Amino acid sequence: MKSLDGLKVKVKSLGCRTNIYETEAIADSFRKKGAVIVDDGDFDVGILVSCAVTGTAEKKCRQALRHMKKESPKSMAILCGCYVQAKPDAELLSLGADICVGNRLKADLPRLVEGVIKGELKSPLVMKLDVLRHEKWDPLELSKVNFHTRSFVKIQDGCDLFCSYCIVPYLRGRPVSRDLRDVIAEVEGLVDQGCQEVVLTGVHLGLYGKGHDFDLADLVDALSKVKGLRRLRFGSIEPLALNDKLLVALAESEIFCPHLHVPLQSGDARILKLMNRGYSPVEFASIISNVRRYLGDDVHVSTDIIVGFPGEDEAAFASTLNFIRDLGIGRLHVFPFSPRKGTRAYDMPGRLQKCEIANRVNRALEEGGKLLQRYASIWMNRKVDVLIERCKGSKLLGLSRHYLETEIDWDAKGKLPERNYKGLECKVCVAEARHGILYGALSDIKDL
């Protein structure tokens, strides 16, 4: 008999792709102990994997914890992750969670729950490490495919760049990397269960291997040899990590999908310097040019920008929009500046009014819609490879290799196959691009 047999556990995630992976891995760790993972109805243990990268994220965490406690009032409530790392114990205890666990300790959650159930540990319980002085790798792992066609795999944690606006190094700690052999073994296990696409995630993916005798390029080479893996992606990669060795590995990989999310944050030289990003707009543009030299002009480059950073005047904001337009960016993620106590930007002069930041966010989002449509339009009257993930009526939906949503008209080929439509690879003739989504008819289909 397993130690947590029959325990009903609900796990919810807020925040980044790394949190999504950790949520799935936490669920997996409880499942291995005999627990039943539930999405609906009552549960015995509710776990919230939290985010604290912005004030809005913190507010959502508090709301989500309250909602979880109302859903199943008699359940054990667990808060873990960045919010726990950011707040003093007294404030955490006031939220009413039974267990609060910081970063790099999430793999201990089944043991802690078991201890509380058996009376060996007393709740409420708060456990945290000083992540800036601790190099522990949290040994979470994922053995079960949840999305069937695609899975996140966490390979790295932490960051030591200390951008002036960013609280993440204080929450996630300094860089640590997962052993290369462990990553390969997890991916092989996921592929054996039917996963065909892996997305590598980390807090700063480019720092993978720091302090070791391997790096991200070595991992790409190794994963490209995993039998049955059809697609490999990065969640996000910082610009200065895109060196020639990595780009050669990506260009030579038959499974790497030509899409890179490369955070910019600002296209204005003065603001970038205040942000302590370590590069200028000219250097960023040179990096993207080098990406296209290795991966081709059709590579999809998406990015992030922060709007309303202290001292950002109208000219600086306009420079950013002009810069990303001239650079041929596809998808654009826009974040309003959120002052985080403990960062250098928190006390910087020139903080903008919320109404002005909101106005700029809307303008940037409007520009982002145009940029995505412009990029999607280059695929008109061309064939793209799509991995099917779901269906909507008589339509099949999936992602192209270049990370564009694609809707496929199945009608011309008759009814859907009797087997699960997920995991079929299509070649689609693109007839239309609207709002950044490709629409087309089936050209060819095969089982993977």
Q: Give the tens place of pLDDT for each residue, 363-400.
A: 999 999 999 999 999 999 999 999 988 887 778 899 99
Q: What is the model's pLDDT at position 448?
A: 40
Q: Using H for helix, E for strand and C for coil, what is the string for the chain?
A: CCCCCCCEEEEEECCCHHHHHHHHHHHHHHHHCCCEECCCCCCCEEEEEECCCCHHHHHHHHHHHHHHHHHCCCCEEEEEEHHHHHCCHHHHHCCCCCEEECCCCHHHHHHHHHHHHHCCCCCCEEECCCCCCCCCCCCCCCCCCCCCCEEEEECEECCCCCCCCCCHHHHHCCCEECCHHHHHHHHHHHHHCCCCEEEEECCCHHHCCCCCCCCHHHHHHHHCCCCCCCEEEECCCCHHHCCHHHHHHHHHCCCECCEEECCCECCCHHHHHHHCCCCCHHHHHHHHHHHHHHHCCCCEEEEEEEECCCCCCHHHHHHHHHHHHHHCCCCEEEEECCCCCCCHHHHCCCCCCHHHHHHHHHHHHHHHHHHHHHHHHCCCCCEEEEEEEEEECCEEEEEECCCCEEEEECHHHCCCCCCCCCCEEEEEEEEEEECCEEEEEEEEEEEC
Is 132 inside any structural domain? no
For residue 424, give the CATH number of its domain: 2.40.50
In a shared domain, residues 400 and 292 = no
In a shared domain, residues 387 and 371 = no
In a shared domain, residues 327 and 396 = no
In a shared domain, residues 354 and 216 = yes
Is 313 inside any structural domain? yes
Adjacent-strand bridge partners of 442: 428
Q: What is the model's pLDDT at position 416?
A: 54
Q: What is the model's pLDDT at position 127?
A: 95
Is 137 inside any structural domain? no
Q: What is the model's pLDDT at position 418?
A: 43
Instruction: Identify the domain boundary among 127, 159, 194.
Output: 127
Structure tokens at 133: 């002085």
For residue 349, give the CATH number of its domain: 3.80.30.20
In a shared domain, residues 233 and 296 = yes
Whole-angstrom CA distances from 152 to 142, 148, 167, 221, 274 are: 9, 11, 23, 18, 33
Is 311 inside any structural domain? yes
Structure tokens at 123: 């709740």
Instruction: Identify the domain boundary among 375, 392, 415.
Output: 375
Is 233 inside any structural domain? yes
In a shared domain, residues 319 and 369 = yes
Is 134 inside any structural domain? no
For residue 51, give the CATH number of its domain: 3.40.50.12160
In a shared domain, residues 105 and 164 = no
CA–CA dist 409, 429 (Å, integer) = 10
In a shared domain, residues 286 and 186 = yes
Q: Give the tens place of pLDDT for each residue, 31-79.
A: 999 999 998 889 999 999 999 999 999 999 999 999 999 999 999 999 9
Is 139 inside any structural domain? no
- Phi, then psi, of 111 in degrees rounded to 5: -65, -40
Q: What is the model's pLDDT at position 445?
A: 61
Residue in 364, 367, 419 with CA at minimum distance from that of residue 391: 419
In a shared domain, residues 295 and 430 = no
Is 136 inside any structural domain? no
What is the amino acid identity at position 370?
A: K
Residue in 185, 183, 213 with CA at minimum distance from that of residue 200: 183
Domain total for the chain? Answer: 3
- Total-model pTM: 0.93
In a shared domain, residues 203 and 339 = yes
The list of the chain residues with pLDDT below 70 reads 1, 145-148, 411-421, 444-448
In a shared domain, residues 118 and 155 = no
In a shared domain, residues 199 and 92 = no
Instruction: Identify the domain boundary among 350, 375, 400.
Output: 375
CA–CA dist 398, 391 (Å, integer) = 9
Residue range(s) defining the domain that contains residue 352: 150-375
